Amino acid sequence: MSAEAQVKQIEMVRRQLSRESAEALNKIEKDFPDNPKSMDYFYDLYRRVHCEGEAPHGDKKVIGTTCVQVPEELIYAVGAVPVRLCNGSHTFDQLGAEFMPAKSCSLVKATLGMLSSEVASWLDQGGDIVNVTTCDQKTKAGRLMEEAGYRVHHLELPPSKESEAARTYWQSNVNGFARSLESVTGHKITRNGLRDAIVRVGRAQQAYRRLHRLRMSPLAPILGKDVFLVTNAYFFDDIDSWTDAVEVLNDEIERRCEEGFGAAQRRAPRILFTGSPPIFPNLKLPTLIEQSGAVIVADETCSANRMLYDVVNVDEWQLYDMVDALADRALKPCTCPIFVSDEDRKRRLLELARTFAVDGVVYQAFSGCQVFEMEQRSISRFLADEGIPSLYVETDYSPDDLGQLSTRIEAFIESLKARRRRK
Amino acid sequence: MNRFRAFINGADIRRFRFWVQLGFFFLLVYGGYFMINLGQSLPTFSCGFNQPGRAGVCYLLPLQHQTHIPWDSIISGRGLGILTGLLTFLAWLFVFNKAWCGYACPLGTIQDWMTSLRQKLGIRYATYNLDWFTRLKKIKYILLILLIVIPFLMANSVAGLPKLPDDMGTPFCKICPARMVIPAMTGDFSQWTVDFSTGTAAAMTGLGMLVLGIFFVGGFINKRFFCFFCPMSALHSLFSKVALLKLRKDGSKCTRCGDCYRACDMQIREIADDVESTTLVKDDCMMCFKCVAACPEEGALKASFMNIPIYESTEAGFFKRMTKRGKK
């Protein structure tokens, strides 16, 4: 391809991407009445970063991450900024199809598509990425990122988390990652630096947990599509501005709770969302659920709850204990389906369903995301045994299945409403 | 009431514990100078060799005297002595359970101070790997059996074997580091000797000096090093199920994040991984309740007394402690 044609193509991709993002954002923002005022920070953020292509971190050294298991505190401690690369755009999904087999996961394809396109504002070509060996597709994608010219640290995750051997193996890998970060950036991780990073991330998590808790209110004070947008912004936003914006939002939501203001109808079925992560602009399923008259009150996904909920506890505030503590936080509570056992995921779902008075569970699996597809049977059976209705939806980033999906979602929500009336 | 609860649950357990431990240390090590006497059956290492400072005597000392008893006098006044001693011990234990270890034991407190020193110096702690850990833990039960059986075999000949030599005395005390460490706190170093009067005495006191050395090295690099082997802890754990003070867990609220496991000085894995049990006082537990302070889930872990929760894990408390300690 001539240089000129290449420039033309990049321009085309950029335009397509910004159109896709703008459409999704419009739908999320404009199709719903009574959005919280403080959501404007986030709508505006997405408009700037996704639609207009603004680089979120300016000149700062950015390190790309691909999974929630990366202890981002370490990245902050070397003075760099972590940006989660997992991508939700259909445009990039199509571009990435070149690198992966036909039946693979949209998320991995889109991430690869973005990294190979030179359109991404996230990371410079040849930048640093830490890729966790979670599922097969992500593991091999790490290699493909190297081929695309990035410097990749392959952070090895054990396939099971129960044994003490897995724990020590992971701890030593995280320690190795810390050393490699030091050599890549030329900054030493100091005790004070890491302690500040832990407190900084802790503050963000505290804000998230407050938002999470506010959603327990019997009259849902905020819609799930907005919360997904908020947690998703954590992927790329400056962490301190993010935390402040979430606290402002929390204050507004709290006022709503006190005033008895509901973001959805009083009788709207309450949904717990689980499975493959909704990532902007692919908030197709959450938006559809809430357009059909239900409200998402909680989730168990790695773009929201699983990423922000579990907090680190440090016993001795020295480097040796902090790094191991970060490793433990990333591994032990993780409910990712790549692990052998699904016990923790079941327990988490049940606890969320109970504390949030959930009417039904929607389980999203990206077609090609084998691990979520494989866990579907046991999770669905478990939920049925516990008397919680659930809907399993296999989908991807393309808008083609919207019609068929909306029929299924509406039917499910109607059945939840009918079930409520019978009670 | 709710605000009071929130205040308690947001408390920094370390500071609370530090002061309580310090108080008990003074009481048990120097209380004798103030004519305090809490009796002969304390369920903690208030060492009997620390005279006149002791404010009471560690139950293991009279227990070894009492089991030095010939068969035929068990059903007599001396047998009754064993029983009253045990009952007094149980009464103490019944109220405070294993918190005697985490809050009162002077030897435990000294180890915690050694840990603080190591921490201040920025030296990493050592841990056992799980295999070794499960094996080593059993030593305390073996010591417990021996400290009851050896005095008995000194007084009785079993199956025609000769009696054990009398100069084994109180065998566990001979090898217990508290016999040397606690009196030293009042300036009495007379126990830091090897007694060469007889071969047995030399062997036992020599072993004692060796244990003392191991105690200082082990206690410095390993948190609560000696407590893994403590026969008093073994004796506690036989009765800890019925005690009033309890550590409770609500498994449904637990995310198995392991924050409590990390905080645990005794490496008790079940505190994080066991989501079935509702009370979780394992044999090594010293009821320091650091795990409760480390838990970010509302009400997942709690210390309760007669089923009344006295200290509970809360999200607000967790973050309060984290920001406070992370600022230093």
DSSP, residue by residue, B35-103: T----S-BSS---TTSTTT-SS-BTHHHHHHHT---GGGSSSHHHHHHHHHHHHHHHHHHHHTTHIIII
CB B44 within 8 A of CB B100: yes
Q: Does B271 touch chain A (CB under 8 A)?
A: no
Of B253, B262, B273, the CB nearest to A328: B262
pLDDT at res. A308: 97
Per residue in A226-238, pLDDT (tens digit) is 999 999 999 999 9
Residue B165: inside a domain: yes
Mutation target for A interface from B118, B256, B260, B320: give the one with most A CBs within 10 A. Answer: B256
Chain A partners within 8 Å of B262 (Cβ): 313-315, 321, 324-325, 328
A3 band by pLDDT with thresholds 50, 70 and 90: confident
Cβ contact (<8 Å) for B252 and A351? yes
pLDDT at res. A91: 94
Alpha-carbon span B16 to B201, nearest angstrom? 42
Residue B132: inside a domain: yes
Q: Does B263 touch chain A (CB under 8 A)?
A: yes
CB B27 within 8 A of CB B8: no
Q: B231 with B248, same domain?
A: no
Tokens of B15: 């500071």
Alpha-carbon span A228 to A248, nearest angstrom? 17
Tokens of A54: 């603004």
B326 compared with A315, residue with greater pLDDT: A315
Cβ contact (<8 Å) for A199 and B328? no
- What is the number of structural domains in chain B? 2
Mutation target for A interface from B129, B224, B262, B325: give the one with most A CBs within 10 A. Answer: B262
Chain A partners within 8 Å of B273 (Cβ): 162
Residue B5: inside a domain: no
Shortest distance between the Cα of B266 and any Cα of chain A, in A, equals 13
Q: B151 with B295, same domain?
A: no
pLDDT of A125 > 90? The answer is no
Cβ contact (<8 Å) for A311 and B253? no
Per residue in B40-88, pLDDT (tens digit) is 999 999 999 998 899 999 999 999 988 888 877 777 777 888 899 999 9
Q: B45 with B134, same domain?
A: yes
CB A359 within 8 A of CB A220: no
Q: B221 with B322, same domain?
A: no
Mutation target for B interface from A316, A321, A329: give the one with most B CBs within 10 A. Answer: A316
- Scanning every residue of chain B, which has its alpha carbon at the shortest distance from the alpha carbon of A335? B255
Q: B96 with B203, same domain?
A: yes
Domain span at residue B21 reads 13-236
Q: B37 with B111, same domain?
A: yes
B184 band by pLDDT with thresholds 50, 70 and 90: very high
Residue B285 burial (10 A CB sphere; 0-12, 13-18, 19+) = buried
SS3 B198: coil
Q: Does B328 touch chain A (CB under 8 A)?
A: yes
B327 band by pLDDT with thresholds 50, 70 and 90: confident
Cβ contact (<8 Å) for B252 and A348? no
pLDDT at res. A121: 64
Q: B64 with B158, same domain?
A: yes
Residue B2: inside a domain: no
Which H or E run includes A64?
strand A62-65
Q: B58 with B130, same domain?
A: yes
Q: B155 with B278, same domain?
A: no
Residue B259: inside a domain: yes
Shortest distance between the Cα of B294 and any Cα of chain A, in A, equals 6
CB B103 within 8 A of CB B288: yes
Q: B199 with B249, same domain?
A: no
Of A196, A202, A314, the CB nearest to B319: A202
B169-193 average pLDDT score: 93
pLDDT at res. B155: 85
pLDDT at res. B133: 80
End-of-domain residue from the set B180, B203, B236 = B236
Shortest distance between the Cα of B118 and any Cα of chain A, in A, equals 10
CB B100 within 8 A of CB B203: no
B273-296 average pLDDT score: 94
Residue B188: inside a domain: yes
Query: What does the mean pLDDT of chain A come to?
Result: 95
pLDDT at res. B82: 87
Q: Does B19 touch chain A (CB under 8 A)?
A: no
Chain A partners within 8 Å of B322 (Cβ): 199, 202, 311, 313-314
End-of-domain residue from the set B171, B206, B236 = B236
Q: B58 with B162, same domain?
A: yes
Alpha-carbon span B188 to B35, nearest angstrom? 19
* CA B174 to chain CA centroid, nearest Å: 18
What letter does residue A105 receive in the DSSP assignment?
-
- Scanning every residue of chain B, which has its alpha carbon at the shortest distance from the alpha carbon of A326? B259
pLDDT at res. A123: 80
End-of-domain residue from the set B236, B263, B297 = B236
Q: B24 with B162, same domain?
A: yes
Per residue in A48-59, pLDDT (tens digit) is 999 998 888 888
Chain A partners within 8 Å of B296 (Cβ): 310-311, 313
The radius of gyration computed from the CA coordinates of chain A, to the nearest angstrom, equals 21
pLDDT of B274 > 90? The answer is yes
How many other CB atoms are found less than 10 A from the CB of residue B136? Answer: 12
Of B119, B252, B254, the CB nearest to A316: B119
Mutation target for B interface from A198, A313, A335: give the one with most B CBs within 10 A. Answer: A313
Alpha-carbon span B172 to B157, nearest angstrom? 20
pLDDT at res. B169: 76
A335-361 average pLDDT score: 96
Residue A39 pairs with which residues in a beta bridge? Answer: none
pLDDT of B167 > 80? The answer is no
Nearest to A111 by CA among B179, A123, A102, A103: A123
